[in-house]
Amino acid sequence: MTGAEISAVHPGAHAHPLDNAVPISGRQAPPCTVVIFGAAGDLTQRKLVPALYNLAHQRLVAASGFAVLGFARREYTDAQFREYLGAELKGHVGSNFEPGIWNWLSGRTHYVSGNFDDTAAYERLARALADAEREHGTKGNVLFYLATAPEFFAVVARRLRECGLLDESDGRWRRVVVEKPFGRDLNSARELNAALGKVLSESQTYRIDHYLGKETVQNLMVFRFANGIFEPTWNRRYIDHVQITVAETLGVEKRGGYYDKAGALRDMVPNHIFQLISLVAMEPPISFQADAVRDEQAKVLRALQPFSPEDVLTKTVRGQYGAGQIGTKLLADYRAEPNVEPESSTETFVAMKLAIDNWRWSDVPFYLRVGKALSRRVTEISIHFRRPPMMLFRDTEVHKLSRNVLVIRIQPDEGIALKFGAKVPGATLRLGSVDMDFSYADHFGANPATGYERLLYDGMLGDQTLFQRADMVEASWAVVNPVLDVWAALPPRNFPNYHAGTGGPRDADLLLERDGRAWRDNLK
């Protein structure tokens, strides 16, 4: 849409079919205003507003009681903010785009400019919220989304409290969504939780991890607990080990300033990876209520065995990419990227061997690897089952029995595959591997999504199941902290130690080979 077309939409625009629409699936969220702090940033334009558009397209937002308020330092009028959001919306929602729905949503979108620590700006925000309640029927309910730098999380929450914007009297609700990272280490995570806890109740605090918005991740619990053929074998008696791979082909691109201070370990492991592990390894909850699920996830995180300094040297691997080629694209050394120190010791690759010290998972290693500038983009969990005894096959041509492997693909091709052995046709007994493969796109059709739809929707509903609790955050950092300490004390001497476009450093392969295992061949 052009800027003129967007500017022509106004809060009192004529009724749109969405106003009386029935949700495509699920129930419609209650009336509310979504306030996005940091609204002039990339996350808002690429992910959050497209996600809100997709929810409107599915008729899941309150048709007659919904508004969006952007808050940022940049000076925008309402019309300019709408034009900024609309400029790239069609590219992010694809064939889902309908001008009428964007007219409806943009007509309910407004903007407040100001600094995050400016009391006067929050007073303007309060007036804008009152206007939204009056003009759009939001009933005073507000979902605040902090798409800001981490140093502003506590500042914004404190200002909201001081200006009375977290008040939940008269039956209205106020909730605050906090983006990652939740601290840089255990101490900073505790400090952030304490700062938020002074002004927010835990029931108002929604620590978001966009990985949990992915369909296959959400399906993990359903897959495990709704299918009687899998849960009985989901334990140390039948499972040999578990692998988790999160591989990206991209380098750090324009994020060098942030990434060089964070690194792959902080950026991915205590949040995305540990959330996946907790869902794979948790015990069956007594219900799907938020705290029942999160209680079981927290137990897994607390059962992860902490690393001793010696363990860090033998059970963790770090890497940094050097120049290489991925497809037709040439990548320079990580150290040559913009805003990266020329002698940086920041890791762009991490591999680990983890142990869960409980009855179900004792002696079952969990191997993880995460990295940038690798040969293929893939995120998957693979469950490797124990081999059956060979005695039945001694007098046959079968020389080795391969493992059954259950693969849960999270991206880019969401789905589930099961590998098992079958007899190859012929007069002799020979085994071949067979894959049963399920793809979400093939079976259910592909729905354009950013990964934030379910999380924003749950925030409006007040469902915290897919959001981290304070104790979960701290339990995750408690596992990672010893690794950070050892790596800080012993800077790497061999960086860069893998070429862009490969599968990572050789030491990551040795991590499994020492145990007589190997990574799944998913990076070729």
Are 247 and 374 in contact by the 8 Å Cβ rule? The answer is yes
Yes or no: say if 499 and 372 are a contact pair by the CB < 8 Å rule: no
Give the CB-side neighbour count of residue 40, counting CA atoms within 13 A: 16
**227 CB neighbour count, 10 Å cutoff:** 9
Chain centroid to CA 372 = 16
Do strands 324-326 and 329-331 pair parallel, antiparallel, or not at all (unpaired)?
A: antiparallel
Contact between residue 118 and residue 155 where contact means Cβ atoms under 8 Å apart:
no
Contact between 520 and 382 under an 8 Å Cβ cutoff? The reply is yes
Do 401 and 390 form a contact (C-beta atoms < 8 A)?
yes
**Whose structure tokens read 């992860």?**
304
CA distance 518 to 354: 15
Going by the DSSP 8-state scheme, the letter that residue 330 receives in this structure is E
Q: What is the DSSP string of 394-449?
A: TTSS---PPPPEEEEEEESS-EEEEEEEEEPSSSS--EEEEEEEEEHHHHH-----
b/e map 116-147, b = 16+ CB within 10 Å:
beeeebbeebeebbebbbeebebbbbbbbbbb
Q: Is 500 exposed, middle or buried (0-12, 13-18, 19+ CB in 10 A)?
A: buried
Residues annotated as catalytic (active site), given as ranges = 272
Residue position matching structure tokens 């205003």 = 33
Tally Cβ neighbours within 10 Å of residue 4: 9
Among candidates 122, 203, 187, 112, which has minimal Cα distance to 155? Answer: 122
Question: Token digits for 424?
Answer: 């190859």
* Full DSSP string of 338-372: TT--TT----SEEEEEE-B-STTTTT--EEEEEES
* Cis amide bond preceding 181, omega within 30: yes
225 Cβ contact list (under 8 Å, min separation 6)? 231, 284
Residue 88 CB neighbour total at 10 angstroms: 13
